[in-house]
Structure 1
């Protein structure tokens, strides 16, 4: 998979400035065929700028930007992608089926309308005017429009915003099917469980730089803390005072806490509460790893600014 022939999108030393603001500062990024790369980061990290470069919507001030080895503004490259952005201005009076037929007509070998509708879960909406759909339904239609051209690369920018849990999981299943068929996906999301469930690799950005890139497991491995859950009557304030114990809270009758020294904390829990039950120990999730990584990056940036000052 490291062969350059498998790379479908690439940023190399990409720099983009808006006046005095540097939105991207020497970003390197590769997306390979058949993988899902989740692009994560706080607001203002540079994710939207990176995507806009790859879509050919803006030009880099320096560095290289490639889409299928070509300039992203080349029509031959753009016909091989599908795009679902956070905002979409679609003709409100057109019916969903009409929107799908119109969009599919721009591609050389589109999916059949029924196939696109089935994948996106909108078969029951084809006769409905777009403007009369709920926000979640409109997002599903936008997903159908993104995949109807049978893209080799799909850009999904916060795709499940406004969707309920059941609909979100159906969209995840559709994304997995597209990946199994060889499609590549670049995903941005604020739902970290979404990245954890779908991503082959994650790329974390902060202040216009890539601060981590690798598998979900590799990112989680950077965090030493573990999560402990159990049913216990122990007082949360008491447990919070123990050495090496981080966040502590109670949800219903369950005690939840984090610690970098799970073994010793578990022993103390068992000693302190002989009636403790349903004990679970889990390694840190993507959310904890992401939070710690971005906090470190922000602290390093603040220290650098102080040195300059």
Structure 2
């Protein structure tokens, strides 16, 4: 009999008053996968993560974490989490915080803590144990939070915007660490606004919108499902492209606009009829383009809107 999935969600519904944050969501993640959760702000990603951690009571549905209830799985140390707004106590040193969490974990009945030397090396915090928490850079804080999430050697790791404060070099090092953890058999589920990370790192991409899963597959499958191509060029800010033939999504980055289109020839003919297209580039759809194409209500948007 195959082992229970790392995460199994059936019919999850979460409401905040009259607002439905998660709407009858189903999701199964086998052990050992690295999965990216993508979608616009308010899609239900963080609410789903909170349900998996047992931090809220859903209106309906069931969540099983390694064949346990969320609270039992967390209590057993089976889940490690880096939440977007996680903090560290001030006026302490990194080693003191790490020692406190390791001791607290043992008292809570966890199955065992990660050996300290290996934990420090894996999280990349060697040399930081004596440093005051208040003196850490943004990237160093994220590394320390990762170490705290890994204290119990959890089979399932949940990461919410884990590289938001990291520079390019730190981001690369972080994902090298994540690949190493996946190689050890850990299941890694992460939400990120860096879609290039999801494209490069994730075995599987799950796109959530309106509290539901709207796409699920490898990054290549998600991009192929979007079809079409992307046309990008420099344009006057605020220019509208709703009526251009073939266009399914619009994204702005500064003065550069990117149009996802199902008919590049028709799109270009219409655009060229209105004048030149400075810095024109036509290419296959990126993961970001594919995600935008899955959100028809957000045709005129900015790149930041899906982060």
Q: TM-score, normalization: structure 2?
A: 0.78
Structure 1 position 298, deviation (Å): 8.2
**CA separation of 1:27 and 1:76: change in aligned 2, threshold 3 A:** closer
Q: Which stretches in structure 2 are left out of the alignment for 5+ residues?
A: 269-280, 301-307
SS at structure 1 position matched to 2:6? strand
| More displaced stretch, 54-63 vs 166-175 | 54-63
The count of corresponding residues between Structure 1 and Structure 2 is: 279
SS at structure 1 position matched to 2:294? helix
Question: Is 1:120 paired with 2:123?
Answer: yes
Structure 1 position 186, deviation (Å): 1.1
* Distance (Å, rounded) in 2 between the aligned partners of 1:17 and 1:260: 36
* Off by >6 Å, runs of 4+ in structure 1: 242-249, 262-266
Q: Show the counterpart of 1:20.
A: 18
Q: Show the counterpart of 2:86.
A: 88
* Distance (Å, rounded) in 2 between the aligned partners of 1:196 and 1:121: 24
The within-5 A match list for 1:24-173 is: 24-74=22-72, 78-105=76-103, 106=105, 107-173=110-176
SS at structure 2 position matched to 1:52? helix
* Distance (Å, rounded) in 1 between the aligned partners of 2:203 and 2:59: 30
SS at structure 2 position matched to 1:74? helix
Question: Is 1:285 paired with 2:283?
Answer: no
* Deviation readout 1:66-107 (Å, 9 max, x if unpaired): 111111111676411111001123221221122222222314
Q: Which stretches in structure 1 are left out of the alignment for 5+ residues?
A: 230-234, 267-279, 300-309
* Distance (Å, rounded) in 2 between the aligned partners of 1:102 and 1:291: 43
Between structure 1 and structure 2, the one with the greater Rg is 1
* Deviation readout 1:256-291 (Å, 9 max, x if unpaired): 98765679999xxxxxxxxxxxxx975311110001
Q: TM-score, normalization: structure 1?
A: 0.78
Query: Which residue of the other structure, out of 192, 195, 212, is the alignment partner of 2:195?
Result: 192
* Distance (Å, rounded) in 2 between the aligned partners of 1:17 and 1:264: 43
* Distance (Å, rounded) in 1 between the aligned partners of 2:117 and 2:10: 39
Structure 1 position 248, deviation (Å): 12
* Distance (Å, rounded) in 2 between the aligned partners of 1:30 and 1:98: 37
| More displaced stretch, 165-174 vs 138-147 | 138-147
Structure 1 position 207, deviation (Å): 1.4
Question: Is 1:212 paired with 2:210?
Answer: no
SS at structure 2 position matched to 1:125? coil
**CA separation of 1:247 and 1:181: change in aligned 2, threshold 3 A:** same
* Deviation readout 1:204-225 (Å, 9 max, x if unpaired): 1111111111111111012222
- Please tell me whether the aligned partners of residues 260 and 289 of structure 2 are also in contact (alpha carbons under 8 angstroms): no
Q: Show the counterpart of 1:272.
A: none
- Please tell me whether the aligned partners of residues 236 and 248 of structure 1 are also in contact (alpha carbons under 8 angstroms): no
* Distance (Å, rounded) in 2 between the aligned partners of 1:158 and 1:21: 24
Question: Is 1:202 paired with 2:214?
Answer: no
SS at structure 2 position matched to 1:173? helix
* Distance (Å, rounded) in 2 between the aligned partners of 1:83 and 1:259: 38
